[in-house]
């Protein structure tokens, strides 16, 4: 016990050293004792050899071939979302597209990760959507939960705090429901020995990981694939509606596809569209779903930039600060996708998913889902903001997850 050194650096060269060049000295993340039992044994909280083993076992779930196969699920659920957008367009009224994106991403991750066919997009009373929304709306953290704060200050109290959390808070009860539902799915798949489906659970079951690790990692994938991607889609849609010139330029790029009405047939071309990629990167630069630190624990003494990092030192690289830094970006608060076309950018200045061997394992899956959803939406609809819209969205930050209460837009079908 006792005080620990914590170093925060916004220097992108330091970030490169810590995350990649001297990764062997910074292999671990800071231990998050306040995490619930549903996440404590997931890959996000693992260390050393255990993390390396899990990463090696889980990486095949997000191979190029697997992600391409998962794109069919995204298109299937986008068909449903398009029907709902047409319904809203006919009304001529503004609606909360953020809520629809949450239902979309929950439907997609439920199918791609667990092989579950949910009705989250169409059913207003979908229990999966209700509990996921409740959990994230009141996601506990040391900043907003006295129980979690107590577990951080006095780690010995963590088991008691966790027990109370799951019983007296709405978020805790929803977490219990989600974890139990997923554990039942996994238990059924383990008993039947079914590893033939093209989903993440099949990879987990074939990995040799223990049951608890499989359940914990499954829960982590659900959370990561639900809230972060819907947040990225919501803010990107708001930016495009606020900047009709960017929206038009992206629309023209989509119309240059061989058959824009059959986007599902052009997976490779859509993934490689330069302006779509620039919009994706610029939207996540301005509104990264994870706003806190890329954190690492120094596991071996080393020197970076003349500073000695001793074993046990906690290191934080503040994502939001770097992505909005005037030292790194020209006009950092402006939405300018062209910045990713006109000149090479330092990859360590763009860190929504972290970087290096411990970067987000689902990064390419999230990118695929984002690009398909935006391409399918913009190829059919013009997006605009209601006349009474404020210049900036109100932002909330729960356990480092960026969010906003709602994103109101108006959809208008494009004339062919």
Does residue 321 form part of some domain? yes
Q: Look up the domain containing 387 and give its range.
A: 6-413
Least confident of 251-255, 260-264, 388-392: 388-392
Collapse the DSSP code of 129 into the 3-class scheme (helix H, G, I; strand E, B; otherwise coil) and give the result: helix
Query: In this structure, are residues 110 and 132 in contact, taking their beta carbons and an 8 Å threshold?
Result: no
Instruction: Give me the DSSP letters along 224-245.
Output: HHHHHHHHHHHHHHHHHHH-HH
Does residue 260 form part of some domain? yes
Please determine, for residue 415, whether its predicted confidence score (pLDDT) is greater than 90. no
Interhelix angle for 64-91 vs 363-378, to 10°? 30
| CATH number of the domain that residue 277 is part of | 1.10.630.10
Separation CA 135–CA 278 (nearest Å) = 32
Does residue 334 form part of some domain? yes
Q: What is the DSSP letter of 123?
A: -
126 labeled binding residue = no
Does residue 1 form part of some domain? no
Domain count, the chain: 1
Least confident of 37-46, 329-338, 367-376: 37-46
Radius of gyration in angstroms for the set of CA atoms belonging to the chain, rounded to a whole number: 21
Residue pLDDT, tens place only, 59-111: 988 999 999 999 999 999 999 999 999 999 999 999 999 999 999 999 999 99
Average pLDDT rounded to a whole number, residues 128-141: 76
What's the start-to-end Cα distance of the chain, in Å?
A: 67
Does residue 52 form part of some domain? yes
């Amino acid at each position: 016990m006792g005080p620990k050194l914590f170093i925060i650096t916004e220097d992108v060269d330091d970030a490169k050293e810590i995350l990649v060049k001297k990764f062997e000295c910074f292999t671990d993340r800071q231990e998050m004792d306040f995490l619930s039992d549903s996440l404590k044994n997931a890959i996000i909280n693992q260390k050393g050899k255990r993390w390396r083993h899990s990463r090696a076992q889980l990486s095949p779930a997000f191979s190029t071939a697997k992600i391409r196969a998962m794109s069919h699920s995204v298109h299937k659920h986008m068909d449903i979302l398009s029907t709902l957008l047409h319904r809203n367009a006919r009304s001529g009224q503004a609606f909360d597209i953020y809520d629809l994106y949450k239902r979309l991403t929950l439907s997609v991750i439920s199918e791609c990760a667990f092989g579950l066919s949910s009705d989250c997009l169409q059913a207003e009373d979908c229990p999966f959507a209700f509990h996921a929304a409740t959990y994230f709306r009141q996601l506990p953290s040391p900043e907003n939960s006295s129980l979690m704060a107590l577990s951080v200050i006095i780690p010995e109290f963590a088991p008691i705090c966790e027990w109370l959390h799951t019983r007296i808070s709405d978020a805790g009860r929803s977490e219990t429901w989600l974890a139990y539902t997923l554990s039942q799915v996994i238990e059924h798949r383990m008993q039947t020995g079914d590893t033939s489906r093209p989903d993440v659970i099949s990879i987990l079951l074939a990995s040799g990981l223990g049951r608890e690790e499989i359940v914990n990692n499954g829960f982590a994938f659900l959370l990561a694939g639900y809230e972060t991607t819907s947040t990225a889609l919501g803010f990107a849609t708001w930016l495009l509606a606020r900047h009709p010139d960017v929206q038009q330029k992206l629309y023209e790029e989509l119309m240059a596809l061989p058959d824009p009405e059959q986007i599902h047939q052009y997976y490779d071309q859509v993934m490689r569209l330069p302006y779509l990629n620039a919009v994706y990167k610029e939207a996540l630069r301005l509104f990264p779903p994870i706003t806190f630190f890329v954190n690492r624990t120094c596991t071996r003494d080393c020197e970076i930039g003349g500073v000695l990092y001793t074993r046990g030192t906690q290191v934080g690289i503040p994502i939001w600060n770097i992505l909005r830094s005037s030292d790194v970006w020209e006009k950092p608060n402006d939405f300018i996708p062209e910045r990713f076309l006109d000149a090479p950018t330092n990859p360590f200045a763009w860190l929504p998913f972290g970087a290096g061997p411990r970067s987000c394992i689902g990064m390419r899956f999230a990118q695929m889902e984002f690009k398909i959803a935006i391409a399918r939406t913009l190829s059919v609809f013009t997006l605009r903001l209601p006349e009474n819209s404020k210049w900036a969205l109100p932002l909330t930050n729960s356990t480092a997850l960026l969010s906003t209460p709602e994103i109101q837009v108006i959809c208008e079908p494009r004339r062919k």
